[in-house]
Structure 1
């Protein structure tokens, strides 16, 4: 998955009923289904298929938004929000199954908790959310490759010799980049708060 395939800009519209938004909503509905598959039924292969489908629809909604000229403010917020929700949900599930260590989850979820209040900085100044960093997209891509690979190593034992080392490599690099881009977003919000006055 990419981080914010529909970026917010001045050309965004207030349209809600668009194909990309429908795909993002479909991905959102898939989150509790994924958790049920991994934590309740241990249907790891089906969970892996759902993750792959979510990754494909995430790629597709960004392409369709540009192809159909259906970018929207809702899409610019919904798409990255669902991406982050999938990362958190997958982390929680894999930590609960002892596939990923808890401290990785603490780092990644902590990054989101630190950045969440920064959105208020932009709202209180009538500014759009900050433009997505391509490095952030790369970090999210690595994480959303790492987690399915680690799940695949458990779901399909024959894949373990390849999936597990690739998954760990992507997880380590993705986590490092995720934290680094989080620091960049935080610095940007602090600079905005200092320079741009509050709306009256």
Structure 2
């Protein structure tokens, strides 16, 4: 695990973070085509930074924090924009943000016991993947005709799977935190190595 900051994957994650306010302005001003382009680029760069980190052997501590932070920020800002535009109902925003608030509450508990952020698991990656694919499709669903109708169905399918997996991962992180804290205290939930 590297402590390097300026790696190719980290730069990609930083660019993705810089795209968040760009997307916010585009969605608010009704520039849907450009907003779709930014969303698609964000989704592609999310895959690319992880692939390059492994391929170039540039996995870093910063990258393990930066990548999921960029994902969460993009998801929340996108949901706020889509909710503001009336593309998704408010409950979707509330459910996703509630999960992120729960995870934010785990961070001080982990830190107090000497642990850093938890490793992102397969289920969490799957939920993020589904949500990042749902958003451009739901935005595209605003188009009239067959393209909009198909995008609506596929977008909501990705959204439902994404929300479900997002919460399942959140519950897994909660259980993992409980086990780590119990093991640290030597309690009944102690994890054997």
**TM-score of the aligned structures, taking structure 1 as reference length:** 0.88
Larger RCO, structures 1/2 (Cα 8 Å, 6+ apart): 1
5+ residue gaps, structure 1, are 1-11
Moved more, 138-147 or 156-165: 156-165
Alignment equivalent of 2:113, drawn from 125, 143, 147:
125
Q: How many residues align?
A: 186
SS across alignment from 2:132: helix
Aligned to 1:86: 74
5+ residue gaps, structure 2, are 186-193
Distance in structure 2 (CA, Å) of the matches to 1:56 and 1:35? 18
Once the two structures are TM-superposed, the CA of residue 189 in structure 1 deviates from its matched residue by 1.1
1:26-105 equivalences under 5 Å are 26-39=15-28, 41-105=29-93
Once the two structures are TM-superposed, the CA of residue 157 in structure 1 deviates from its matched residue by 5.2
The Cα offsets for residues 28-54 of structure 1, whole Å up to 9 and x where unpaired, read as: 000000000000x21001000011111
Q: Is the 8 A contact 2:43 2:133 kept in 1?
A: no
Once the two structures are TM-superposed, the CA of residue 191 in structure 1 deviates from its matched residue by 2.2
Distance in structure 1 (CA, Å) of the matches to 2:56 and 2:68? 20
Aligned to 2:159: 171
1:14 equivalent to 2:3? Answer: yes
The Cα offsets for residues 128-170 of structure 1, whole Å up to 9 and x where unpaired, read as: 3222221111111111111110011125755112100011111
Distance in structure 1 (CA, Å) of the matches to 2:102 and 2:115? 20
The Cα offsets for residues 86-139 of structure 1, whole Å up to 9 and x where unpaired, read as: 110110000000000001110100000011021222222332322222111111
Distance 1:22 1:156, change over 3 A: farther
Q: Is the 8 A contact 2:83 2:93 kept in 1?
A: yes
Backbone CA RMSD of aligned residues: 1.6
Structure 1 stretches of at least 4 aligned residues deviating more than 6 Å after TM superposition: none
Aligned to 2:189: none
